Structure 1
Amino acid sequence: MRLLATYQTRIDDRESYPFLEACGEYFGRLERKLYVDYHIKGLQVKELKRKYIAEHGITARQFNSLLKDLTAKLASVRESLVFRKRDLLGRIGRLERFIEEKERERERLKKSLSRLTPRSEEWQKKVDRLKKVKFVLHQKKRRLRNLRHKLEAVRRDLESGRYPICFGGRELFKAQHDLEANGFRDHAEWLCAWREARSGNFLVLGSKDEACGNQTCTYTEDNTLRVRVPDRLRAGFGQWVLIKSVRFPYGQEHLDRAKRPVCVVRGRKVYRAVTYRFVWRSGIWYLFATVERDDPAPSTSRWNGAVGVDLNDGFLQVGEVDRSGNPVNEFKVPVAMRDRTRGQITAALGEAVKKVVLYAKEKGKPVVIEDLDFTGKKQGLRESGSRYARMLSGFAYRKFRVMVESCCSREGVELLRVDPFATSLIGQLKFMARYGLSPHGAAACVIARRGLGFGLERAPEVSAPGIPPRGRASRRGYWWQVCKSLKRGPGSGLRVDVLYADRF
């Protein structure tokens, strides 16, 4: 199984830095010019290709690199606009429903005030509550207006088909308006940083029919990177620039494999395409190499059972079942998510995922996760309680899913995704008391069972007050009724009564 993977290293050969800076400035200027010609003016690619090769002294492959980088940025901006439109529509919808609820509450308070004695204690409480509701309504309506204005701007950009790109970054561009607050002594210092940001990276596209996967940037057997110089820069750097001692701390074996041909077709050698990106960051040039990675075929089997993973606020809960779906083990892997930077969360989550996947590989069992999407729920964070909003905002489920997919593919572990319907409720009512599991461990076992193909568990006979009778409802329908009943229950007492219903 082959997947694209990107590996990073630092370029320690300082003698090559002047050339990389010149290339960054030159290709950055050409990319901005190509943005105007291709995206704004709408000129044809064939016409632009001939023009840029003749006028700017670049090869066809270097033009393809510029075009590939630009089209990827445009596609990213468009995808971001589409996501932002969908997100704004969700936020507006939730905010409108919240405003309707508050308006109904305001009317109820007004009616109740007319029936109370003025200046009484209860009357004063109602008046204070009414003032608070009016204030909240005013602020929420202001926010609704702002969201609608943002939605109109996003729709205009999508309808026009012309997507704005700020080469260098909007945040840095706006920093010139408040230099001192952004750490700049004067405008000249900001201008220097702005030019560095606009020329701080460039792409070198690879191809399978080129030596070592890339004719412009060739990674040789002695770990030397040979870069072809554009015609306009040959007067100062010659035809080729050699960057010596380039080694990747991770993925070196995949880059070494790309140096050798995969096969020979009609007398021509076929390699693995390698695409390089040079990035300037904090005074150092970094090299990113994207190449096909050979991943082993899955070595796990569902006949051994499955390992379910339940993502929670601050930890991963793992539940293991055998081939018959019986829980055999559970454990917790802590993951610090709150009050952490994005990089810290990514590192902690990556270590936890790796530990779980290696455990599943050792047991010879596939990994099972829920197919969740918190996008809709996160749209209403402002209208949610502080505790719930804090918990939900720290959830990085999309990042978690990508990490699990990558780690399972790399380790040869099968990954299964299942419907998340009522996993926590079913785990607590069916397996928690019977097997002595924790609430989250029971949910993880339910996830693992679904990965093995077991159907929805049969609901237990419950005589606790407030729980609807089973009747003729389907299993899914009855579990949904139980879930709603527990949410409306008087507290944890009703749930505790139900927990032991299936124990005997």
Structure 2
Amino acid sequence: MIVIQAKLIFLNQQDKQIVLDLMRRWSSCMKFAYKRLLEGYDRKTLKRDLQGTFDLNSRYVDDAIMKARGVLESSRQLDNNPKKVIFGGRDLFGKLQKRHINGKEYQKLKTKWQERRKGNLYSRGDKSKKGNLNTRIEVKENGTFLRINVGERKYVYARIEAGYKKNKRREELLQEIAESNIPYSVELKLKNGNIYAYFAIEEEYPEIKITKEKGVIGIDINAHPGNISWTEVDEKGNLISYGNIPMPELASGSKDKKEYFRWQYAHEIVKIAKEKGKAIVIEKLDIKEKGKRGDFSGRKSRRIRHSFSYKSLLSKIKTLAKREGIEVIEVNPSYTSIIGMLKYAPQYMITKDVAAAYVIARRGLGLQEKIPDNYIKFLNALTVDELEELREHVKKTVRNKHIKKKHLREINKAMEFLQSLESKPGRVLEPLDGTSFSAYDFWRVLKVAVVTPLSPEKVKRDFSVLKELLIQGKWGGP
């Protein structure tokens, strides 16, 4: 069970007064129903009579009767006299009876007691009505709102204020509830002149029916240029189809607008997976990633924090997929972009981003990425001296200090790797046991050797020029 508290902000004072009047009538209805239940009235008779008396629809009346029955049963279980129940609180009522309290203190207690007696409204969720008919959460571009039924086909909207940054997760949960169409209960309470809403939900996810048995959909989210790349693969890892979903709305605008559109994009991805009957593979990201220096200056950390909310979008995809019975697989994102750009972008003539999504999909199936034979030949022929020449070339051609430092750092790492490799008999390309290098370092060297000369100032998105090197093994030209 999840319970979320939020404050309601009304567009104008008139709307607030309408809701306060509704809460007053509902509270009176609940107290009246309690007395009638003590007298032995049944639910059907009460439901018919109370609608006209308090000008409430049948759902509100039914919820009032349910609450009254709950108070009655609780009183009996505690061995209290049901006829002596005091709505508004026995302790507060007792303080009001003391004659030594007067003036402002007395008025303050009286107001608090009256709010507890008259400032209540409860509305149960209904699965057949996709959530809650009388009090429905609606996600709009300018925020999250509660639509309150105040009469026949009459509604009042109040903005849901779930808290500041530290409580941002509350608002995200409310939006997840709204998008899920599952039943949730809403209880309104008046406190110090403000109306607060309490949302309660108990969600049960359906059994996973769509698994990776027939293949997967790989997802790669790109901060720049701001799009979702996806690929469809079969159970053997073969590429079937792919596409891109632009996300221009996430480049600017308010927090609420961005959150609204994240939900829309998450729905698009889950819809694709559902239509194709395949599981979803996403990157497993940790927002606590601090980078190598521990100061959040790493490339991955900056991308997560300063672009759009990477993790928030992936979380929404996971939530919606679970509700559709679709398996979600999370994989290590390390080197997916590098492997994609060097191996699959030129091979299938696809963009770097789509190629990264393809690597993510294959990784979700548990497939390993081997370096193509021609790339191995190329690496075996590569020398430290050639990388030294490349480093001097970068120093001369790249003016941007940030770009230069990044490329020089990569080249230095590649040179260090090759020097360790040359010390091995036969210069065999395999992971170096007992060193800090791994299989991924081969891809790092490849990137430095073939991408940096092509585009020293910017990572290219078209790698068709590498096709001859990858397939035919041609290198050594201009």
TM-score scaled by length of structure 2: 0.49
Greater RCO (Cα-Cα under 8 Å, separation 6 or more): 1
* Structure with the greater alpha carbon radius of gyration: 2
TM-score scaled by length of structure 1: 0.46
